Amino acid sequence: MSELKGRKLVLGVTGGVAAYKAAELVRLLGKAGADVHVVLTEGGARFVTAVTFQALSGNRVWTDLWDPRMDNNMAHIDLTRDADAILISPATADVMAKLAHGLADDLLTTLCLARDCPLLVAPAMNRQMWEHLATQRNVAQLSADGVTLFGPAAGEQACGEVGLGRMLEPEDLCEAVIGFFQPRLLAGRRVVMTAGPTFEAIDPVRGITNSSSGKMAYGLARACAQAGAEVTLVSGPVALPVPAGVRRVSVRSALEMREAVFAALPGADVFIGVAAVADYRPATSAEHKIKKSGAELSITLTPNPDILADVANLPKPPFCVGFAAESRDLDEYAEGKRKAKKLPLIVGNLVQDGLGGDDNLVVLYDDAGRHPLPRAPKPDLARAIVAHLAGLLPEV
């Protein structure tokens, strides 16, 4: 993963118990390609040492406003001049108060005051500190000043209490930082998507399904959310985490998927049918497990509904995007499917090029023609598809 390649981030670590999470955050940001420079406050150093952050980031760690290692002795100026963002994680109530009121009494708060790059803040504190009127005033002031807040989350806290105030987990914060740098191409849009396979039961333990992993759909849901859309993902059975900012509705069969789609559809601007929906299902499903007898077994199949076609045929359909996974003659079959279902956009690929894998080779088909995309990891393809889709949508 190199979604932050070329990005320089200054990470401020302050004196909260959640500072231990910052070590993993540095590792994840570095894995995503970011060049991370840690500024450690005196309080933060009581929880995690500078040695840890230097080892994980590969860069010197800054702790002192008067640190002479910078040639001009102005770390508070030079550290942020070529930075893409400052991220403070964890951000204590004390540091947030200083930021809100423009106080600068250490290296971190001074460089925040002298910055010319975005400031991102991940709050971490006891629930009562978070709910205090003074903290909420500071949060409002920071938001009004253009500071981006990530979290906090709700849950069990180090003090033993439960509520809002937990710092987001490192994985979620890394996702939030990646999303911060994405163009908001779908801001204000509602997107409904389908994902994964469906499972059509023969009996309580057997069924008809396929090898769809759901990776392309989940990557696309993530890209839509990072582009600013409100995303509902109607998903068949897959073993994938829900992308940040995405609402998942879990289903098994094609009939369940259709019902969930139409329940989520009112007010949607875009519908994307990525799921590999089974074309057929058993006409009847046995109540109990069918015992092996050695005799031939016949199963009568009945067609499943075509969810994408049903959505596209609504009197006022959303912008519909289809997927065509073929084993041959991609141009013929994908374009034929697009025209037959009256879709403005379809994404086609050969199954041998990426079904179930981590990368893919796809071609986009719309009214303007054929648009091949270079082979790429599925997250990169998802962003390219979102960019193309956004260019076709009517203005809001």
Residues with catalytic roles: 159
Helix (H) or strand (E) holding 95: helix 93-101
Helix (H) or strand (E) holding 282: strand 280-282
Nearest one of 104, 122, 149 to 19, comparing CA atoms: 122
Strand 190-195 and strand 200-201: the pairing is: unpaired
Contact assessment for residue 151 and residue 130, using Cβ atoms and an 8 Å cutoff: no
The CA–CA distances, whole Å, from 167 to 41, 67, 213, 291 equal: 17, 29, 31, 52
Nearest one of 122, 142, 223, 244 to 181, comparing CA atoms: 223
**Residue at token pair 């067609």:** 303
CA dihedral 255, 260, 262, 264 (to 10 degrees): -170
**Residue at token pair 């191409």:** 185
